[in-house]
Amino acid sequence: MTSVRPTVSELSAAFASGTSTPLEATERALEAIDRFDPVVHAMVLVDREGALAAAREATRRWAAGTPLSPVDGIPTTIKDILLTRGWPTLRGSLLIDEGQPQDWTEDAPAVARLRAAGCVLLGKNSTPEFAWKGVTDSLRHGPTGNPWDPGLTAGGSSGGAAAAVALGMGAWSIGTDGGGSVRIPASFTGIVALKPTYGRIPLYPASPYGTLSHAGPMTTSVADAALLLDLVGRPDPRDWSALPEPSGSFREGLEDGVVGLRVAVSPRLGLDVDNDPAVESAVLATAQRLAEDGARVEQVDPGISDPVDAFHVLWFSGAAKVIEGYGPGALERVDPGLREAVLRHGAGASASAYLDATAVRMDLGRRMGLFHETYDVLLTPTMPIPPFELGHQAPGGDDALWTSWTPYTYPFNMTQQPALSVPCGTTSEGRPIGLQVVGARHADALVLRVGRAVERRAPVGLPPMLYAPRAGGRGEEA
């Protein structure tokens, strides 16, 4: 392969033509881990020998003309929230004992699909404790830096997955998203991530955050996100809320463009938010390009209010319940920010407060359902800001709760709508900017189609680290 960071589609074509092999791709991904992970700390487990053995088997299958699937042999990483057979799932927490191999016997549904397709599982990605916040650091594993500048955060909670994908430490990954956790780091690291319609990708065990939580593809292209959704977006009997088998491929119509589509662009979602000027400019410029391509674009707000208080009740009551399961004293051993948020928003929440929050959620879903009677998709910034300094919980160095700076992501967990983050530009300092494409429930294919139209017109480039000189080397490409 000549590409610095080949897509899954490019790798699959190379395997089929014989110009590359799964073993070569896996060796390249492991080299990227060796080179970049000491800088960004995106991996919490690497199974080098297991990955190489699986890659050799995949290489033999392609040579014999019997691949298990078109993605047989694709190097893949998994967020350390999802169960993965044979590996501990520590969820970034000191509460979990990794020395219990009898507990690591089952794959989560998405992981099972990846394994059955022949994907080479390289290892597991970092996460904040129990995936609770919008940056990736934990008492167990420390912070994860950004591929565009390791002194910046990669975002969270799927920051390890995003950093790994951005730097070629695996061609794609599966993350989770209960309030923005694939989209926040996608925006911060310049990759693509989809939070699909709730239930499209089954989850097991059920998330402590209930039906707020989705699993989602994290990739370097929209086509790869559609391909990964095809692979893992199928029902599993362990998830009672999983959607039925899709009627077709999410890649169908991906290149159909936007002619005639009704596109709403809302730079601030009608909320009291101060966007970074570069972010707002990039979002409006992208909307203008879609109009030039034939979409009927209108700047309009959807007429919703910020559901943050209701979200806090739903989110942190779930967090309180999961910590409670680790016994007396567990709350004193978790991330101090998580402990404070649980005590403030979750531990004392009554059933009545939970039902009130659910009512807010249902009304928000109703409003967005009606909005999509008029508009096919809604465009917003994924994040109002570019990535900020590593080691902080919020921009500016304060310790504000993550929902204070992620206003455009968690509302669409409340409504269960598909929401895609796709790169749409960079700031003058070279920090990535993400555009969020939101569709009606079950309109995942349309969201991907619009994202592909954005991607064609707004290439963002690759993290500078991919071109940096090797230690003691001569500046060759990664």
Please give the positions annotated as active site. Answer: 79, 157, 181
- Reference 441, options 377, 382, 357; nearest CA is 377
- Buried (b) or exposed (e) across 390-399, using 16+ Cβ within 10 A? bebbbbeeee
Output the CA torsion sign for 361, 408, 455, 20.
negative
Q: Residue 232 and residue 230: Cα distance in Å, rounded?
A: 6
Type of residue found at 55? A
What tokens does 202 get?
């089954």
Which of 170, 149, 151 lies closest to 161, judged by CA? 170
Residue with tokens 């919703």: 304
Tell me which residue has tokens 């390289």.
Answer: 122
Look up residue 389 and give its two tokens: 């300094």
Q: Degrees (nearest 5) of the Cα angle 222, 412, 203?
A: 75
Residue 278 contacts residue 427 (beta carbons within 8 Å): yes
Q: Alpha helix locations (H) across 295-401?
A: 308-324, 336-341, 351-374
Helix/strand/coil for 9: helix
